[in-house]
Amino acid sequence: MISNHDISGPLILVTGANGFVGQALCAALERRGQRVRRALRVARPPAGAADSVTVGDLDAATAWDAALRGVDTVIHLAARTHDIHETGEDALAAYRKTNVEGTRRLAEAASGAGVRRFVFMSSVKVNGERTTGRPFSEADTPRPEDAYGLTKWEAEQTLRQIAEQTGMEYVVLRAPLVYGPGVKGNFLRLMQWVAQQRPLPLASVDNRRSLIYLDNLVDAIIMCAQGPAAAGGTYLVGDAESPSTPALVRALTAALGVRDRLLPCPQAALKLGAMLLGRSAEFARLTGSLVLDSTKIGRELGWKPRFSLAEGLAITAQWYHAQVRPRSPTE
């Protein structure tokens, strides 16, 4: 057990430190003996946090001077996250305010404060929403389709421009869906549905979807922050397995210790039902393929996922049984 007095070395600033990934990342860094400063939107530092700064909302006016004092590396996780219900110009403006202008402000302040390296957490949605025939790679032309993916791509370009002008090192990491203890959103709803052994008409779906276990992503972020070879790199990162939706559901049933309730149903019928219910976006994610190739980060940085899909789901299921009341997914 490393105490606060044992932590030394370069100071790392983590934005979004109270988030799903941020909490796990800060804990992992401190276990490795790293000095961590948490940048928080509101003043709610976790128990035992030795160094935290409240910065408020992320936008073009955020004051970063106190947070960046003495910092060697910035790991920028904070963002306006994806919401399928937000559409239109107003939504795009809101995403740009946080994801683009907020990132620009932080990158400019970081370079001015002498920060050596800036690691930016982006998304596979920069590449696009679906793959056909082959996985996405870093060499592909970005084709974002929604406000979240578009503003992540714009933020990447903004960071790259600032870094090239100032000499600050930068690294971009694009991840797919992240799961693990503390997961929320659609993955948690799927777990609830499976745990209650509700029928899922997905047995006939033939697709592949990349995802990444939380601790595998944390390992990749730390490598991007510390590896000399990472400077200037853009990396796609995902678990070794890219399961089909039925395979993921079966793996979840095994992890949760329940019976498989997958049922066959023609995809055309599923698509029509989803359209009538206004859930076409959810249908696309459940039935379409989105696969990424993590070869580059493995080759250049030596990263490989420590946890398999089965191991990651088993740990997530233990957390679910211990912490989550198995509510109906419609609650």
* pLDDT tens column, 192-209: 999 999 998 989 889 999
pLDDT in tens, 288-311: 899 999 999 999 999 999 999 999
Token pair for 190: 């799927």
pLDDT of residue 272: 74
CA angle 46, 104, 292 (to 5 degrees): 75
pLDDT band at 47 (very low <50, low <70, confident <90, very high): low
What is the rounded distance in angstroms from the CA atom of residue 227 to the CA atom of residue 290? 28
Residue tagged 């211990």 (tokens): 322
Give residue 38's domain range: 8-179+211-239+291-306
Residue 283 lies in a domain: no
Whether the CA torsion 297, 300, 306, 309 is positive or negative: it is positive
Residue 32 lies in a domain: yes
What CATH number does the domain containing 147 carry?
A: 3.40.50.720
Residue 203 lies in a domain: no
The Cβ-side half-sphere exposure at 204, using a 13 Å CA radius, reads 10
93: CB partners within 8 A, 6+ apart: none
Q: Taking the complete model, does pTM exceed 0.85, yes or no?
A: yes
147-162 per-residue burial string, b: 16 or more CB within 10 A, e: under 16:
bbbbbbbbbbebbbeb
Average pLDDT, the chain: 89
pLDDT in tens, 53-78: 889 999 999 999 999 999 999 999 99
Rg (C-alpha) for the chain, rounded Å, is: 20
Residue 58 lies in a domain: yes
Average pLDDT of the residues in 185-196: 92
- Paired strand residues for 236: 174
Q: Is the pLDDT of residue 25 over 50?
A: yes
pLDDT of residue 91: 84
pLDDT band at 52 (very low <50, low <70, confident <90, very high): confident
Q: Is the pLDDT of residue 270 over 90?
A: no
Residue 60 lies in a domain: yes
Q: Which of 148, 170, 179, 213 is catalytic?
A: 148
Q: Is the pLDDT of residue 3 over 50?
A: no
Question: Is 148 among the catalytic positions?
Answer: yes
pLDDT of residue 2: 37
Residue 167 lies in a domain: yes
Residue 262 lies in a domain: no
Q: Is the pLDDT of residue 254 over 60?
A: yes
pLDDT in tens, 93-118: 999 999 999 999 999 999 999 999 99
What is the rounded distance in angstroms from the CA atom of residue 292 to the CA atom of residue 174? 10
pLDDT of residue 266: 79
Residue 330 lies in a domain: no
Total tally of structural domains belonging to the chain: 1
Q: Are 320 and 189 in contact (CB under 8 A)?
A: no
| Choice between 175 and 85, residue whose per-residue pLDDT is larger | 175
The Cβ-side half-sphere exposure at 215, using a 13 Å CA radius, reads 13
